[in-house]
Amino acid sequence: MSKTPASPKGKPAPKSQPRKATAKPEGAAPEGDRIAKVLSRAGVASRREAERMIAEGRVSVNGKKIDSPALNVTAKDRISIDGQPLPEAEAPRMWLYYKPIGLVTSNSDEKGRTTIFDELPEDMPRVMTVGRLDLNSEGLLLLTNDGGIKRKLELPATGWLRRYRVRINGRPKDEDFAPLRKGLVIEGERFQPMTVSLDRQQGANAWLTVGLREGKNREIRRAMEDIGFSVNRLLRVSYGPFQLGNLKPGEVEELRARVVRDQLGLAEEEEIPAARPTRARGGKPAGKPMGKPAGKPVGKQAAQPSGKQGNPGRTAGKAPPARGTRPDQRGGGKRPAGKNPRR
C-alpha cells in the first residue's frame, strides 16, 4: 500500500486545501429579473404602471417596501403588493378584439368616457392592449395578459405591418399620395413611408387601403390632413399576422396556443394551455354594429389587398368555414355580442 510521500526533511506533506469558490467577475449582470418585469409577467400591471406602484410604496420584497424599480428579484424572493402575495405568473395568452367607435383605449379616462375595459366580457382575465386605437377609430385591437408580449409587439424594431381601411372625403388621384409613400415631416415629427392604394371612389368619398409599420398618435389622420383630405372612417383590419377576420364590433376571440407560440417565437415550455371560450360582456351590448364599409367588406377580404393572409387563429392555406357552419372552437371561438350562455 502506498503512503503519502514525505517532504525532503522527513516531514509529512501539507494537507490539500479546499478550493475557494470562484468570485463573480466585476460588472457581471445580477441574477433574476427586474422587479417591474416580474410584476408585468404576472399580469399585475404594465412595466410603467408597475414602476408607479413601486414609487407609491405599494410593493414589498421579502417584507420590506421598495421605492425604486432598480432591483432584480428571483424565484426565492417573496413579493407582495398592498400586503397581498404576488399571484403566480399566468401562461401568456392573446385575444383579438373588435374595438367599436366611441370607446377609449385606456384603463381609465379623466373625462369619464367609456373605456374598452368597461365593455370587455366579465370572464376575461386582466389584460393589456397592444398599442391603441383612438376614440373615433375601430377595428382590430390585440389584447394580452403578458407584459413581455405587449412590449415585444410594440417595439419599433419589430416593424410589423398594420393595415387599415380608410375612407376620406374628396376625389383623390393616385399621385396625390406620393408624399405619404416617401415619408412626411409634420410639425417637426417624422412619419415613416406608408403603403397607400386607392381602392374605389364612392360618391363624395374614396376608400383606401393604408399600411404602416409604426404607431404614432393619429398618424393616418394627420398625414391625410397634411395632403388636403379628411378621414371620416378608419378601420384597422390587421396587425402583423393577426387579422380582424369576421369579428363584429365588441366581439372578442382568443387565439389558439400554437398560433401565438409560432408567431411570437415562444419556447415550447411557454406554450399556452388550451384556450377557453371568450364571450361578450353579459347584460351589456358590446357596441353598436357599424356595418360594412361601402365598396369593401369588413374583415378577411378587406385585410387582403396584397394577397391571401388567412383567417386569425388559423394556419395559412386552410380554407375558411362555409357560411352557416359552426366557427372553429379550438381557438376559444366567438360569441354574439351581449350574450352569455351561463346566464
Write the pLDDT tens digit of every residue in 62-115: 999 999 988 999 888 999 999 988 877 778 899 999 999 999 998 888 888 999
pLDDT at 12: 56
Of 33, 77, 109, 134, the active-site residue reads 134
Q: Name the percent of the chain lying above pLDDT 70.
A: 68
Residue 121 has pLDDT above 50, yes or no: yes
The C-alpha cell that represents 69 in the structure block: 424599480
Concerning whether 176 is annotated as a catalytic residue, the answer is no
pLDDT at 9: 52
Nearest to 228 by CA among 269, 175, 278, 264: 175
- Determine the average pLDDT of the residues in 26-54: 78
**pLDDT band of 158, cuts 50, 70, 90:** confident
**Number of neighbours of residue 130 by Cβ within 10 angstroms:** 22
Write the pLDDT tens digit of every residue in 189-237: 999 999 999 999 999 999 999 999 987 889 999 999 999 999 999 999 9
pLDDT at 79: 93
Q: How far is CA 248 from the centre of its chain?
A: 19
Mean pLDDT of the residues in the chain: 76
- Determine the average pLDDT of the residues in 7-27: 52
pLDDT at 200: 96
At 48, phi and psi to the nearest 5? Answer: -65, -45
Residue 169 has pLDDT above 80, yes or no: yes
Residue 27 has pLDDT above 70, yes or no: no
CB of 245 within 8 A of CB of 256? Answer: no
Nearest to 300 by CA among 167, 149, 140, 172: 140
Residue 132 has pLDDT above 60, yes or no: yes
CB of 133 within 8 A of CB of 139? Answer: yes
- Residue recorded with cell 391603441: 132
Q: Is 98 exposed, middle or buried (0-12, 13-18, 19+ CB in 10 A)?
A: buried
Indicate the pTM of the whole model.
0.62
Q: Between 160 and 174, whose confidence is greater?
A: 174
User: Checking DSSP bridges between strand 205-212 and strand 162-169, what pairing results, if any?
Assistant: antiparallel
Write the pLDDT tens digit of every residue in 246-282: 999 999 999 998 888 888 876 554 444 444 444 454 4
Tell me the torsion sign for CA atoms 226, 201, 103, 212: negative
